[in-house]
Every structure is written in C-alpha cells, then in structure tokens.
Amino acid sequence: MYPDNASVKVSVVDRTNVLCGKSRPGHFDGVATVLIKLFNIILPTRAYFGLKDAQQVAVVDGLIKDFNYPIELIPVETVREDDGLAKSSRNVYLSEDERQQAVELSRSLEMARLAIERGERNPVELVGMMKHHIHENTSGIVDYVEIYSYPELQELVTLKGKVIIALAVKFSKARLIDNAILEAE
C-alpha cells in the first residue's frame, strides 16, 4: 500500500485540524491514501464506517464527494455497553474504578443533548457543562470536548443544523473517545 517513493501523495486539507486530528498530523492522509487505493481495486458501491470515529466518517464523506466515487457512505451507529459506555478495545485497560467512572462520558453527552432539546444553543455553555460533569465524576483528564457542524467540522458560534458533540478523556492507561451527532433546530 505504501511504496518507498510514491510519485503522488494524498493530503486531506479539510476536517482534520480538530478533534483527534489535531494531535495526529498526517494520520488522515494515510487513511485517504489507503481508501483511494482500496476503492479503486474493489470498486465498492457502499462503504460502512463506524460513527465512534465520526471524524474519520467525515473525512471519508469528503473523499467520496471530492473524488466523485459512486459509493454510498453508510455511517454505522456506535455500539454501546448496557450502561452506555461506547464499546472499545481500549476499555480493557481501564481499572475497575475507571470503568465505573467511564460511563460518565456518555452521560455528559446525554446531558448536552437534553440541554439542546430544552433550547440551549451556545456551544461554550454546553462544553463547560460537559467538562464540569466529567471533572466532578471521573478521575480522567479531559483532552477535548468540542462541538462542530457535521460533517464539515466547522466551528459554530450558535448551534444550528447537524452538529457533533465530541470528547476525548485520558484515564491512567486508556484514552477514550465518544460523540453524539444530532440536529439543533
């Protein structure tokens, strides 16, 4: 997939400077390179990507549109444990106490969703509320809590239209991510 001296390089210029992409420069260039090669080899009509990594879904959405691929992107909902924690191979690295606390990540997303239903449209207020909840209820360190338009991943002054509320929290041996995508009328 990666020749030593490629004559063409893929560079993703949009949707990558926020969320996890901020701390992983070039990561989505590699994702796009592999997907372009794969799409050209197998010529799929559909591509399924999990919304747990909603930023990757947004990047793939842009790639499919920009390169005019006749592919239907099918986002797959995040699979969750019974208590709401997003399923992840990283969850096994949580201590017993951290595992109990980790459910507060999805609860903070639910709190934000309810606040939006009640009319809150200020992203600063929502982010502050979520960070406070996570700080008060977990030993995790917040990497980010951010809200953007979706799938464009553009900053918002006021919530309107389809938005993503995303977070990343570092526990002692695991960094967990989660998000909610919803409509703010």
Per-residue model confidence as pLDDT tens digits over 1-27 = 667 788 888 999 999 988 988 888 888
What is the average pLDDT value for the chain, to the nearest integer? 95
How many of the other CB atoms lie within 10 Å of CB of 84? 15
pLDDT at 2: 67
Dihedral angle at the C-alpha atoms of 153, 157, 158, 161, nearest 10 degrees?
Answer: -20
Q: According to the model, what pLDDT value does residue 25 have?
A: 84
Q: Please report the pLDDT score of residue 94 as a whole number.
A: 97
**Would you state the pLDDT for residue 62?**
97
Q: What is the pLDDT of residues 73-125, one digit of tens each?
A: 999 999 999 999 999 999 999 999 999 999 999 999 999 999 999 999 999 99
Q: Report helix, strand or coil for 48.
A: strand
Q: What is the pLDDT of residues 157-166, one digit of tens each?
A: 999 999 999 9
d(CA 108, CA 101): 12
Residue 108 pLDDT? 98
Give the per-residue pLDDT at 107: 98
